[in-house]
Amino acid sequence: MRPMLATLTDTVPQGAEWVHEVKWDGMRVIVEAKGGTLTVTSRTGRDVTVAYPELAPLAELYDDMVLDGELVALVDGRPSFAGLTERMHVTNARRAATLAGSRPVTLMAFDLLRLLGQDLTAQPWSARRQLLEQLDIDGPRWQVPPTHDDGRGLLAATAEQGLEGIVSKRRSAPYAAGRRSPDWRKRPHRDSESVVVGGWRRETGGTLLGSVLVGVPGPEGWDFVGRVGAGLAGRAGAAVLERLRPLERGGSPFASEVPREDVKGTTWVEPEVVIDVASLGRGSGRLRQPSYLRTRTDLTAADLWETTDG
């Protein structure tokens, strides 16, 4: 099952029909416990169970249960996506067990999709949430985070605490698996989006990565939206370049025209690597003062055709 996704909003919805939650900076997963076995699936449908052995005891709580939630790595009490990155693509069970001890994750379970053979996705959020809280499943590596009636107050509190933002949910909404729905609305604190990398340039006078050319889905293919250099110094840039080198191609992957000053010195790559960038929005179709935030190993380029906001 693919998770239900939230739409981006500039304003926090108000009124009794809405409830609000913290937006966690982590990795979205569907967790299924069945017959004593746990399966953890990423947003893209990949089985990542082996990477998170600390979640295995969840399977002992209920014989049949499906949860929707976010895996987070807590550093000094706050979610750190950088801290989670090392855990994401581990396929060796022994290595995963070692990391589970030194860099454990926590599952923030915020929805209940199935329980003891009963599909709950057609039920309103309020009914699913009531059942989830009645399960009383809080444990050392998983918890059911609280909800809040005051969305504006939660938005202010999460900004003060350095958290990513909030998600507002319509109490009467069913669970729309695999769809982006206006019944869930996300309000992050930073103006960020996920983009695909279509090319890279060396730093001036050097051999290391200096910037990447990025795009988003458009009517005829990938639309070029700018060049990103800030945030790519040092190890971050080296890690991105390592992923890009095997993807080199002969020409631009962008359907829209790339300005001559951006083409010069560019090595084109297949549009497969997805990164998050922060910016001041767009002007004339280009990102304003963009900076690299992170590589989205949990997203594929195909996912961007479902949404352009990540």
pLDDT, residue 284, reads: 75
Q: Is 23 a catalytic residue?
A: yes
Whether residue 309 is predicted with pLDDT greater than 50 in this model: the reply is no
Per domain, the residue ranges of the chain are: 5-188, 192-305
Mean pLDDT (the chain) is 92
pLDDT, residue 180, reads: 86
pLDDT, residue 310, reads: 39
Query: CATH number of the domain at 192-305, please?
Result: 2.40.50.140
Mean pLDDT of 234-242: 91
DSSP states along 244-298: HGGGB-SS--BSSPPPHHHHTTEEEB-TT-EEEEE-S-EETTEESS-EEEEE-TT
Q: What is the pLDDT of residues 143-158, one digit of tens each?
A: 999 999 999 999 999 9
Of 23, 34, 169, 264, the active-site residue reads 23
Q: What is the pLDDT of residues 196-230, one digit of tens each?
A: 999 999 987 677 899 999 999 999 999 999 999 98
pLDDT, residue 307, reads: 58
Instruction: State how far the Cα of 138 lies from the Cα of 162, in Å rounded to an integer.
Output: 24
Whether residue 67 is predicted with pLDDT greater than 50 in this model: the reply is yes
Give domain 5-188's CATH architecture: 2-Layer Sandwich (3.30)
The whole-model pTM stands at: 0.72
Q: Which amino acid is at 209?
A: L
Q: What is the pLDDT of residues 102-153, one digit of tens each?
A: 999 999 999 999 999 999 999 999 999 999 999 999 898 999 999 999 999 9
